[in-house]
Chain A
Amino acid sequence: MTRSNMAMAGALCLLAVLAGVRLLGGDPGIDLQAILRGDDQEQAILTHFRGPRVILAMMTGAALAMAGTVSQVMLRNPLASPDIIGFTAGASAAAAAAILIFGDISAAMPGALAGGILAACLVFGLAWRDGISPLALVLVGVALNLMLITATDILLSLSPGILASEATRFLTGSFASADWRSAGLMALACLVLGGVLAGLAFAIDRLELGDDLAVTLGLAPDRIRFCATVCIALIVAVSVAVAGPIPFIAFLAGPLARLAAARPGTVLGLSAVIGAILGIGADLLATLPIAGIRLPAGVFTALIGAPAMLLLLLRLEVDRK
Chain B
Amino acid sequence: MKGLEARNLSVDLAGRAILQNVDLAIPEGGVTAIIGPNGCGKSTLLRTFAHILRPSAGTVLLDGLDIAQVPPRDRARRIGFLPQSPQTPEGIRVRSLVTRGRTPHQGRFGLLSRADHAAVDRAIALVGLQDLADRRVDRLSGGQRQRAWIALTLAQETSILLLDEPTTYLDPPHQVEVLKLARQLNADLGITVVMVLHDITLASLYADRVIGMKNGHPAFTTGPGEPLQADQIRNLFEMDVHVLAHPTSDRAVIVPVQ
**Other-chain contact of A212, B81, B91, B103 (Cβ < 8 Å):** B81
Interface assignment of A27: CB less than 8 Å from any CB of chain B: no
Give 11 A-B contacts (CB < 8 Å), ordered by A residue.
Answer: A205-B89, A206-B100, A209-B86, A213-B81, A215-B51, A215-B72, A216-B80, A217-B103, A218-B104, A219-B103, A263-B91
A-B contact count (CB 8 A): 76
Given contacts A209-B100, A217-B156, 13 further A-B contacts (CB under 8 A): A202-B106, A206-B103, A212-B47, A213-B152, A215-B52, A216-B52, A216-B76, A217-B103, A219-B72, A262-B91, A263-B92, A263-B96, A264-B92
Contacts A210-B83, A217-B103: A202 and B52 contacting too (C-beta < 8 A)? Answer: no
Interface assignment of B37: CB less than 8 Å from any CB of chain A: no
Q: Pick the most buried of B77, B87, B106, B109: most chain A CB atoms within 10 A of its CB.
A: B87
Q: Pick the most buried of A199, A205, A217: most chain B CB atoms within 10 A of its CB.
A: A217
Structural contact, B109 and A202, CB atoms closer than 8 A: yes
Binding site for B on A (CB under 8 A): 76, 199, 202, 205-206, 208-213, 215-220, 258, 262-265, 319
Interface assignment of B108: CB less than 8 Å from any CB of chain A: yes
Q: Which residues of A contact B16 (CB under 8 A)?
A: none
- Kindly provide the distance from the CB of B127 to the nearest chain A CB, expressed in whole angstroms: 17
- Chain B contributes a number of interface residues (CB within 8 A of A) equal to 33
Q: Within the assembled complex, what's the spacing in Å between the Cα atoms of A319 and B52? A: 30
Q: Which residues of A contact B94 (CB under 8 A)?
A: none
Q: Which residues of A contact B104 (CB under 8 A)?
A: 217-218
Interface assignment of B35: CB less than 8 Å from any CB of chain A: no
- Kindly provide the distance from the CB of B78 to the nearest chain A CB, expressed in whole angstroms: 10
**Other-chain contact of A220, B72, B110, B138, B152 (Cβ < 8 Å):** B72
Structural contact, A218 and B103, CB atoms closer than 8 A: yes
**Other-chain contact of A216, B81, B89, B92 (Cβ < 8 Å):** B81
Q: Within the assembled complex, what's the spacing in Å between the Cα atoms of A216 and B77? A: 9
Structural contact, A217 and B101, CB atoms closer than 8 A: yes
Interface string of B50-61 (1 = CB under 8 A from A): 111000000000
Interface assignment of B90: CB less than 8 Å from any CB of chain A: yes
- Kindly provide the distance from the CB of B154 to the nearest chain A CB, expressed in whole angstroms: 13
Structural contact, B108 and A199, CB atoms closer than 8 A: yes
Smallest Cβ-Cβ distance to B71: which chain A residue = A218
- Kindly provide the distance from the CB of A79 to the nearest chain B CB, expressed in whole angstroms: 13
Q: Within the assembled complex, what's the spacing in Å between the Cα atoms of A262 and B72? A: 31
Q: Which residues of B contact A212 (CB under 8 A)?
A: 47, 50, 52, 81, 83, 86
Q: Which residues of A contact B108 (CB under 8 A)?
A: 199, 202
Interface assignment of B75: CB less than 8 Å from any CB of chain A: yes
Smallest Cβ-Cβ distance to A215: which chain B residue = B52
Q: Within the assembled complex, what's the spacing in Å between the Cα atoms of A170 and B84? A: 49
Interface assignment of B114: CB less than 8 Å from any CB of chain A: no
Q: Which residues of A contact B47 (CB under 8 A)?
A: 212
- For the complex of A and B, the 7 pairs showing the least CB-CB separation, nearest first, are A218-B76, A216-B81, A264-B89, A217-B103, A202-B110, A208-B89, A218-B104
Structural contact, B87 and A216, CB atoms closer than 8 A: no
Q: Which residues of A contact B178 (CB under 8 A)?
A: none
- Kindly provide the distance from the CB of B209 to the nearest chain A CB, expressed in whole angstroms: 22
Q: Within the assembled complex, what's the spacing in Å between the Cα atoms of A213 and B47? A: 10
Structural contact, B87 and A319, CB atoms closer than 8 A: no
Q: Pick the most buried of A199, A211, A265: most chain B CB atoms within 10 A of its CB.
A: A265
Q: Which residues of A contact B138 (CB under 8 A)?
A: 319
- Kindly provide the distance from the CB of A68 to the nearest chain B CB, expressed in whole angstroms: 16
- Kindly provide the distance from the CB of B220 to the nearest chain A CB, expressed in whole angstroms: 28
Q: Which residues of A contact B82 (CB under 8 A)?
A: 213
Q: Which residues of B contact A210 (CB under 8 A)?
A: 83, 86-87
Interface assignment of B191: CB less than 8 Å from any CB of chain A: no
Q: Which residues of B contact A218 (CB under 8 A)?
A: 72-73, 75-77, 103-104
Interface assignment of B11: CB less than 8 Å from any CB of chain A: no
Structural contact, A264 and B86, CB atoms closer than 8 A: no
Q: Within the assembled complex, what's the spacing in Å between the Cα atoms of A211 and B47? A: 12
- Kindly provide the distance from the CB of A266 to the nearest chain B CB, expressed in whole angstroms: 11
- Kindly provide the distance from the CB of A206 to the nearest chain B CB, expressed in whole angstroms: 6
Smallest Cβ-Cβ distance to A78: which chain B residue = B90
Q: Within the assembled complex, what's the spacing in Å between the Cα atoms of A147 and B156? A: 45
Structural contact, B76 and A213, CB atoms closer than 8 A: no
Q: Within the assembled complex, what's the spacing in Å between the Cα atoms of A130 and B100? A: 26
